[in-house]
Amino acid sequence: MFPFKIDETRVFVPVTFAVLVVSDTRTLETDASGALLSEMIDGDGHRCVERAVVKDDAEVIRAQVQKWIDEPTIDVVLTTGGTGFSGRDVTPDAIEPMFDKRMDGFSVLFHQYSAQTIGTSSLQSRATAGLVGSTFVFCLPGSKGACRDAWEGILRHQFDSRHMPCNFIEVMPRLHER
């Protein structure tokens, strides 16, 4: 859907991810969305070094994400689940106050890409992203399809150091600048 170019003369730089599944009903054994994200991350040459499942509870979600943000070896945190409109869907509410910088464009691109696969149902997601310190945090819906859309349509490209005209890898060394 979106044009992109890979510069094969550039070196691929792997990034370290953690994946958090937010669900009242899933476990690591029964979760399919977080497992899919982990597989896609590893399959594209990155490393998914942590994976966890927590209940739909803002304090618990925030605590787990903060733990990973505090870990200097983790570059990116992906959450999946809790981005809808039900009373228990609190992931964006828990995470957005943590953002030092919001990434409004992620939500826009996610909805554009997602609308190609699920139409207007994309409106039912509050997918969001931002930067906390030097850690990228993305809050994705809980379905496998949404996780695939986010990874294949956006994140795979932005976390590929060969992606042109620009990518997150290029800016990562400068995230601590003040």
Q: Which amino acid is at 61?
A: I
Task: Report whether 90 contacts 150 (CB < 8 A).
Answer: no
Q: With beta carbons less than 8 A apart as the criterion, state whether 80 and 22 touch.
A: yes
The answer to whether 107 and 129 are in contact (CB under 8 A) is yes
The model's confidence at residue 123, banded by pLDDT at 50, 70 and 90, is confident
What range does the domain containing 44 cover? 5-174
pLDDT score, position 178? 76
Cis before 165? omega within 30: yes
Above 70 in pLDDT, residue 138?
yes
Contacts of 4 (CB under 8 A, 6+ apart): 157, 163, 164
Report the pLDDT averaged over residues 103-115.
94
**pLDDT at residue number 82:** 93
Residues 6+ apart with CB under 8 A from 152: 40
Per the prediction, the chain carries an average pLDDT of 95
pLDDT tens figures, 9-52: 999 999 999 999 999 999 999 999 999 999 999 999 999 999 99
- DSSP calls for 17-76: EEEEEE-SS--TTT-SHHHHHHHHHHHTT-EEEEEEEE-S-HHHHHHHHHHHHT-TT--E
Q: How confident is the model at residue 121 (pLDDT cuts 50, 70, 90)?
A: confident
When pLDDT is cut at 50, 70 and 90, the band that residue 1 belongs to is low
pLDDT at res. 35: 97
Number of domains in the chain: 1
Q: Looking at this protein, which amino acid is placed at residue 142?
A: G
Domain containing residue 23: CATH number: 3.40.980.10
